[in-house]
Chain A
Amino acid sequence: MILEGLAKTTLLGVEMGMTLVLVTVGLTLIFGMMDVINFAHGSLYMLGAYFGLTLVSVTGNWWLALLAAPLLVGLLGGLIEYFTIRPLYGRNPLYHILLTFGFAILLHGLVTEIWGGQVQNIETPALLSGSVDLVLFSYPLFRVFLLCVSIAVTAALWVAIRRSDFGIVMRASAHDSEMVDALGTDVSRVFTAVFVLGSVLAGLAGVLLGTSQAVDPGMAASVIIQAFAIVVIGGLGSYRGAVVGAFVVGMLNAFGPTFAPQFTDALLYLLMAAVLLVKPAGLFGNPEGA
C-alpha cells in the first residue's frame, strides 16, 4: 500500500514537473537572452488552453488543436515581442516587467470577455481516454501521454540548444549579443525567434494541461508564480536550471498535499526566497549575470 502510494505520488510529481518545464522554458530562455522578465508568459499559456478549447469545439479534432493552438500563441507572442518589447531594449530591464504585466492584465480581460469567467474543460480525445495499468496502480492514459510528450519536447529542446546551429547562436547571444551581432547574425531576429519558441511551448502546455485539468481565467496568475519560482530556483536564464527547478516544484506539488497540505505553498515561496538570498543566480545560473 505504502509503496503503491509512493510510486503514484512520485509519478504525479514527475508529470507535474515535466509539464511545468514546458511553461518555464520560454520564460528562462527569454530572460537568459534578453534580460526580459515576461509577466505575460502565464497569459500565453492560458491563451493556448483557450485557443485549444475553441478549436476542439469548432473542428472537433483535438489533434488539430494540439498542433494549431501553440502555433497561434507563437504568432501572437512574436507580434508582442516585435511591436512592444523590441522598442524597450536598451531601457532599464524593469520596464519589461512593467510592460508585460500590462499584457497580463489585458489578456486576462480579453479572455474573460471572450470566453467568460467560468471553469471549462477541453474534451479528452477518444484515443487517449481511459487508463493504463502500470502494475502497481492504474493511471489515466492521457496523463501518461502528457508525460511522454513533455519528456520528448524537453529532450528535443535540450539537443537543439546543445547541437543545432540555432541553439549555438542562441547560447552565444545570451553570452554576448553584441559580439554575435558584430559577427553578422541579426540578433534581434534571434530574440524574436526565441520569444516565439517560448510562446509556442507555453501554448502547447496550455492545450495539454487545459485538457488534463481545467481552463479558466485564473490559470495564468497561478502558473506564472510557479514558473517564476522555478526559474529563480533553477537560475534565471539556465535551461538546465529550469528543468531541475520544475522537477523540484513538481515533486513539492505532488508530495506536499499529502504530508503538509497547509505548508506546500509556503515551502515553495520559502525555497524561492532562500535560493535568491543564498545564491541569487540560482542553482545553475550564471553568477556574472546576477
Chain B
Amino acid sequence: MGAKDIIGRHFAAQNQTDVLGGRVRLGLLVAGVIAVLFAPVAKVIHPFWMDLATHMFIFALLALSLDFVFGYAGLLSFGHAAMFGAGGYATALLIQNVTDSALVVLPMAVVAGAVVAALIGWLSVSARGVYFAMLTLAFAQLFYTIAFNDIPATLLGMETVTNGDNGLVGITSLTLFGMDTGSLMSYYYLSLAGLAAMLALVTRLANSPFGRVLQAIRENEDRVAFIGYNVDRYKIIAFTISGGMAGLAGGLWVPFNSTATTSMLHWTTSGELIVMTLLGGMGTLWGPIAGAFLVVFLEDSLSAIGNWEIYLGIVYIVIVIFAPRGLSGIVQTIRTNPNPAVLLSEMRSALATYRQKVFS
C-alpha cells in the first residue's frame, strides 16, 4: 500500500472531537482577517511591523511543521533545521541559477524538505524517545557540516555550491505571475498565504483518520502496532509531510532574508523551534503558531532592553515545569472554567505538586 493510499483512504474526515474545534477555528479566522487588514495599517505606522510580522509567519509555519510530528505523532525531532535549510538552500540555488518564479521555486523547496525528511525519517523512526531525538540531531548536524564545509563542491569538483561559512548571499526576490514580490507588502501576503494554506492542510490531516492514528501512536505505539498498523510507515509519512512544510518555510525565508546561511541548519535553530512549539502548547496547531509569534516578538523587542535569551529562558523554564501544555493549555483551562477561582486553585495545586516533589 503506497503512501498516497494511506492518506487518501483516511482523508474522509470525521467530526467528533475535532482538532481545532469550532470556536478555535472562528478565532483563527478572525486572526486571519486581522492579519490581512494589518498590512496596510502597518505600512502607515512603520514598515518595521510588517517585516516583523512576515518573520513571524515564516517561523510559525516552521513551528507548525514541527508540531505535526511532535505534538501528534510524539516524535521529538531535534533535526527540523535540516529540512528548513534544505528548502532554503534549494531556493537560493534555484533563484541564482534557474528561475525566480515562485510557482517553480516554492514547490521545489517543499520537495527538497520532504526528500531530506523522508531520508532522515526512514533511517530514524525505528528509534524511540531520546534515541530518535539524538538521531535526528546527528543527521541535521551532518547536513550542517555538509553545507559549512561545502562538501558538495568537493564531491562534484565545482568551485562552490553552498559557499561554506559565508552562505549564499544576494538572493533576489521571487516573482509570482510575472509580478515581483520584492515589496514588503506582497511578501507579507505571500507568507501569510503560505501559513494559512498549511494550517488548513494540517488541520485536515490531523482530523483525518490518518491524524488519529498518529495520535494513537503518540499515546501507545505498541498497541497501535498490535492492532495491525504499520507504525513506522505512518511515522515516516508524517515526518515527510512535516519536512515538506519546513522546506516551504525555508523557501519563504531565504528570499525574504536574501541570504541562505548555515545558521539555518544549525541545531540551535531546531532547538528554538522546540521552544516555540512547547511555549505555545504542542499538539494544538494554533499553540505553536502563537509560540512562534511570541518568541520572534520577544527576540525582537527584548533585544532593545537587554539580552532576550535570559527572559525567554526563564519564561520557558517556568512553562516547562508548571504548565507543560503551554500557553494553549492555560487558555483551555480558562475557557472551560471562566471562573478566576478555578484558575487560582489550579495554580495552587501546581505549586503544591512542585513543593511536594522538590521537598519531599
**Which residues of A are in contact with B by a Cβ distance under 8 Å?**
35, 37, 39, 82-84, 86-89, 91-95, 97-99, 101-110, 112-113, 221, 225, 228-229, 232, 236, 261-263, 265-266, 269-270, 272-273, 276-277, 280, 290
**Which residues of B are in contact with A by a Cβ distance under 8 Å?**
76, 78, 123, 127, 129-131, 133-135, 137-139, 141-142, 145-146, 148-151, 154, 267-268, 271, 274-275, 278, 306-314, 316-317, 320-321, 324, 353-354, 357-358
Residues of chain A within 8 A (CB-CB) of B141 are 225, 265, 269
A106, B149: Cβ atoms under 8 Å? no
A102, B317: Cβ atoms under 8 Å? yes
CA distance A272 to B142 in the complex (A): 10
Q: 6 A-B residue contacts at CB 8 Å?
A: A97-B133, A106-B317, A225-B141, A272-B138, A273-B123, A276-B127
CA distance A93 to B278 in the complex (A): 15
CA distance A273 to B135 in the complex (A): 6
Q: Among A84, A262, A265, A276, which residue has its beta carbon within 8 angstroms of that of B321?
A: A84
- A96 to B, closest residue via Cβ: B130
* Closest chain B CB from A114 CB (angstroms): 9
Residues of chain B within 8 A (CB-CB) of A221 are 267-268
CA distance A89 to B357 in the complex (A): 9
Residues of chain B within 8 A (CB-CB) of A272 are 134, 138
CA distance A284 to B142 in the complex (A): 24
- A31 to B, closest residue via Cβ: B130
Residues of chain B within 8 A (CB-CB) of A113 are 306-307, 310
The majority secondary structure among interface residues of chain B is helix
* Closest chain A CB from B151 CB (angstroms): 6
A262-B149, A265-B149 given; A103·B317 CB < 8 A? yes
A269, B317: Cβ atoms under 8 Å? no
A290, B316: Cβ atoms under 8 Å? no
B137, A109: Cβ atoms under 8 Å? no
B133, A266: Cβ atoms under 8 Å? no
A83-B358, A87-B354, A94-B76 given; A101·B139 CB < 8 A? no
A228-B137, A280-B131 given; A87·B142 CB < 8 A? no
* Closest chain A CB from B266 CB (angstroms): 8
List 19 extra interface pairs beyond A269-B139, A273-B138, CB under 8 A. Answer: A37-B134, A39-B271, A88-B320, A89-B357, A91-B324, A93-B130, A94-B76, A94-B129, A94-B133, A101-B271, A102-B317, A102-B320, A107-B313, A113-B306, A266-B142, A266-B149, A273-B123, A276-B138, A280-B131
* Closest chain B CB from A5 CB (angstroms): 23
CA distance A69 to B49 in the complex (A): 45
Residues of chain B within 8 A (CB-CB) of A99 are 317, 320-321
Residues of chain A within 8 A (CB-CB) of B135 are 273, 276-277
* Closest chain A CB from B125 CB (angstroms): 11
A94, B316: Cβ atoms under 8 Å? no
Q: Among A93, A106, A270, A276, which residue has its beta carbon within 8 angstroms of that of B310?
A: A106
* Closest chain B CB from A47 CB (angstroms): 14
Residues of chain B within 8 A (CB-CB) of A228 are 134, 137
CA distance A265 to B137 in the complex (A): 13
Residues of chain B within 8 A (CB-CB) of A229 are 138
- B318 to A, closest residue via Cβ: A102
- A35 to B, closest residue via Cβ: B130
A110, B310: Cβ atoms under 8 Å? yes
CA distance A183 to B130 in the complex (A): 30
* Closest chain B CB from A261 CB (angstroms): 8
Residues of chain A within 8 A (CB-CB) of B76 are 94, 97
B123, A102: Cβ atoms under 8 Å? no
CA distance A61 to B154 in the complex (A): 48
B149, A263: Cβ atoms under 8 Å? yes
B358, A82: Cβ atoms under 8 Å? yes
A99-B321, A228-B134 given; A105·B309 CB < 8 A? yes
- B134 to A, closest residue via Cβ: A232
* Closest chain B CB from A34 CB (angstroms): 12
CA distance A238 to B123 in the complex (A): 24
B320, A95: Cβ atoms under 8 Å? yes
CA distance A210 to B271 in the complex (A): 26
Residues of chain A within 8 A (CB-CB) of B133 are 37, 94, 97
- A261 to B, closest residue via Cβ: B149
Residues of chain A within 8 A (CB-CB) of B353 are 87
* Closest chain B CB from A97 CB (angstroms): 6
A98-B274, A109-B307 given; A270·B142 CB < 8 A? yes
Most B CB contacts (10 A, CB to CB) among A39, A106, A107, A236 go to A106
